[in-house]
Amino acid sequence: MLLHNYLEKQKIAIDEALDTLLPPEDQFPPQLHKAMRYCLFAGGKRIRPILAIAAAEAVGGNPENIIQEASALELIHTFTLIHDDLPAMDNDDYRRGVLATHKVFGEAMAILAGDALLTEAFKILSLGCRSGLHKPDHIVEIIEVVAEASGSRGIVGGQVVDIDSEGKTIDKEHLEYIHHHKTGSLITASVLLGGTLAHGTNQEIEHLKTYGTAIGLAFQITDDILDVTGSSEELGKSTGSDCNKGKATYPRILGIDQAEGKKRELYQEAIHALHSFDEKADHLRELGLYIIERHC
Amino acid sequence: MLLHNYLEKQKIAIDEALDTLLPPEDQFPPQLHKAMRYCLFAGGKRIRPILAIAAAEAVGGNPENIIQEASALELIHTFTLIHDDLPAMDNDDYRRGVLATHKVFGEAMAILAGDALLTEAFKILSLGCRSGLHKPDHIVEIIEVVAEASGSRGIVGGQVVDIDSEGKTIDKEHLEYIHHHKTGSLITASVLLGGTLAHGTNQEIEHLKTYGTAIGLAFQITDDILDVTGSSEELGKSTGSDCNKGKATYPRILGIDQAEGKKRELYQEAIHALHSFDEKADHLRELGLYIIERHC
């Protein structure tokens, strides 16, 4: 199947799952449930859930069995977007091509909608045994992985250092800390979630982790490059905003050419990590290429 | 053991567990880990963890086996305090007798410290199998209970309706929605956590739920009354602040006398729910009385 069709098919399945799993808009209190759904369904490529699904395929699992758990990753991602956009943080007005949640629902509701999405993600993960599809010890394992990736030693830690670094001169190691934590940690957790729930061996899980770490950093370098070279229409948010905020980015520290080089090097690393996998890992390989060659 | 000594002993055990479980202050990024610990260790009675421990005792469990999981409840409670105090929410400057987290660390860090505490709570719960003390299916069950109590159908939902109701005239049912969700849900989850991890029977769990629901509402009515009658020194926050914000409270809707009456009625309900438990539930009974008779 062409990657484009694969992405489309998985996105539909994930969006259906998200719609079923989240409380409906009219459930009390409706303004909260509207706010929770607003940014979530404004767009988004669903890269993290799709990476989880492709990782499950790579170890021979049935991707349909992990759609719900994969979807929970998108709730965590959306929570980080809503909180990052807040006036006290990055103060961004647009996200996924529409006004940011705090611009539409107000700051208090944006904070609370983010909190509720984060919490809902763990609720959904905890439901994974009910279907009989997953063993409780696997569910506990992925909850640990996702929590570790999302908290002070993951996304939140990365965001703290990112905000703290604005307008400062930081070196490449410092920037990589931010990227690995703010972006890489949840991408790595996504492939680990898919691999674990689909009963990957310890060795397979190790290889998936190497793939995730490399492709996670490549993902963020691509974002950094697109912030300079991309069109705001395609990206659904202002371009040049990182630069305007004095944020450190790969192109700023290394220049565009070296940033491009680093991105391709990481892609090769990611592909190499999959060398012992057969053609069932082809979607994961293609996703790697898609991640570094996308325009939005 | 006198309740005072019991509370003191459990608080020490919980604080020790929290100190061990949370990343140290100097772990990178230090400003985040300082902010996470600041409000947590500024004070707090640790009522929720202690209720979990007393519920475990009530069903014949060893309270020492659930200290870690009980402590996670305090992280969730502290996350809600930090976010509730934000300028965009209740805009409170003091908490637990010291300046609120956002006043000391800034708004962005307060939002992120709250996010990280919430995430860390699920991380700690997920670690419950590692010790061999708990079965994975029990851990999954309590993660579901805690997530349900904390999200849009629990604490966050209650806070949304609370903020939305400021300055409006609301009726008793509406107020009870706020109290049951904002306060009651995590208190009920606390006794369910203790009862479940200590292998309570289905019937015992049902009784604990009834106890938790009644004592949770009684807890908040007591808070409402203390906001009118208490001393700000003892409470560690401004008194009369609910009234000044135009927040609906029990005394405001029903008057102090009827609020007192309702509180005692709920206490009786809670005690009645424990009628089939033996003396091992005495701490839970005494905690009920403490909750409605405290001065802070």
A91 touches B: beta carbon within 8 Å: no
Q: What is the pLDDT of residue A97?
A: 87
In angstroms, the separation between the Cα of residue B93 and the nearest Cα of chain A is 16
Partners of residue B81 in chain A, C-beta under 8 Å: none
SS3 of B42, please? coil
Domain A3-293 has CATH 1.10.600.10: yes
Would you call B161 and A29 a contact, using CB atoms and an 8 Å cutoff? yes
* Chain position carrying tokens 């759904």: A37
Q: What is the pLDDT of residue A19?
A: 98
Partners of residue B32 in chain A, C-beta under 8 Å: 152, 156-157, 160
ipTM for the assembly: 0.96
pLDDT tens, position by position, for chain B (296 residues)? Answer: 699 999 999 999 999 999 999 999 999 999 999 999 999 999 999 999 999 999 999 999 999 999 999 999 999 999 999 999 999 999 999 998 899 999 999 999 999 999 999 999 999 999 998 888 999 999 999 999 999 999 999 999 999 999 999 888 889 999 999 999 999 999 999 999 999 999 999 999 999 999 999 999 999 999 999 988 876 666 666 666 676 677 889 998 889 999 999 999 999 999 999 999 999 999 999 999 999 999 88
Buried b (16+ CB within 10 A) or exposed e, A262-280: bbeebbebbbebbeebeee
Would you call B147 and A120 a contact, using CB atoms and an 8 Å cutoff? yes
A178 touches B: beta carbon within 8 Å: no
The per-residue pLDDT for range A66-94, each reduced to its tens digit, is 999 999 999 999 999 999 999 999 999 99
Would you call B147 and A109 a contact, using CB atoms and an 8 Å cutoff? no
In angstroms, the separation between the Cα of residue B284 and the nearest Cα of chain A is 28
Query: Which residue of chain A comes nearest to B128, CA vs CA?
Result: A140
Q: Domain extents for chain A? A: 3-293
Split at pLDDT 50, 70, 90, the class of A232 is: low
Asked if residue A116 has pLDDT above 80, the reply is yes
- Cα four-point dihedral sign B181, B185, B187, B188: positive
A149 touches B: beta carbon within 8 Å: no
Tokens of B120: 């860390």
A170 touches B: beta carbon within 8 Å: no
Partners of residue A139 in chain B, C-beta under 8 Å: 136, 140
Partners of residue A115 in chain B, C-beta under 8 Å: 79, 83, 114-115, 118, 151, 156
A115 touches B: beta carbon within 8 Å: yes
SS3 of A256, please? helix
**Best of B28, B115, B148, B192 to disrupt the A interface by mutation (most A CBs within 10 Å)?**
B115
A164 touches B: beta carbon within 8 Å: yes
Can you tell me the distance from the alpha carbon of B48 to that of B44, in angstroms, rounded to the nearest whole number?
10
C-alpha distances in Å from residue B86, one per residue of B80, B83, B94, B113: 10, 5, 11, 12
B166 touches A: beta carbon within 8 Å: no
Partners of residue A144 in chain B, C-beta under 8 Å: 123, 126-127
Name the packing angle between helices A155-165 and B107-126 (round to 10°). Answer: 160
Would you call A126 and B136 a contact, using CB atoms and an 8 Å cutoff? no
For every residue of A66-114, DSSP letters joined together read GHHHHHHHHHHHHHHHHHHTSTTTT--SEETTEE-HHHHH-HHHHHHHH
Q: What is the pLDDT of residue A138?
A: 97
A156 touches B: beta carbon within 8 Å: yes
Q: What is the pLDDT of residue B295?
A: 86
Would you call B163 and A89 a contact, using CB atoms and an 8 Å cutoff? no
C-alpha distances in Å from residue A128, one per residue of A62, A140, B138, B189, B294: 15, 10, 13, 20, 41
Q: What is the pLDDT of residue B239?
A: 67
Partners of residue B133 in chain A, C-beta under 8 Å: none
Query: Which residue of chain A comes nearest to B162, CA vs CA?
Result: A29
In angstroms, the separation between the Cα of residue A278 and the nearest Cα of chain B is 32
In angstroms, the separation between the Cα of residue A18 and the nearest Cα of chain B is 15
B127 touches A: beta carbon within 8 Å: yes
Query: Which residue of chain A comes nearest to B83, CA vs CA?
Result: A111
Query: Which residue of chain B comes nearest to A154, CA vs CA?
Result: B116
Tokens of B164: 């939305």
In angstroms, the separation between the Cα of residue A289 and the nearest Cα of chain B is 32
Would you call B147 and A108 a contact, using CB atoms and an 8 Å cutoff? no
Q: Which of residues 54-83 of A touch B (CB under 8 A)?
A: 79, 83
The per-residue pLDDT for range A13-43, each reduced to its tens digit, is 999 999 999 999 999 999 999 999 999 999 9
A26 touches B: beta carbon within 8 Å: no
> Contact B284/B60 with Cβ under 8 angstroms?
no
The per-residue pLDDT for range A41-68, each reduced to its tens digit, is 999 999 999 999 999 999 999 999 999 9
Can you tell me the distance from the alpha carbon of A242 to that of A175, in angstroms, rounded to the nearest whole number?
13
> Contact B28/B59 with Cβ under 8 angstroms?
no
Instruction: Nearest by CB to A122, from B89, B136, B147: name it.
Output: B147
Could you tell me how many CB contacts below 8 A there are between chain A and chain B? 156
Structure letter (DSSP) for residue B181? I
Partners of residue A128 in chain B, C-beta under 8 Å: 140
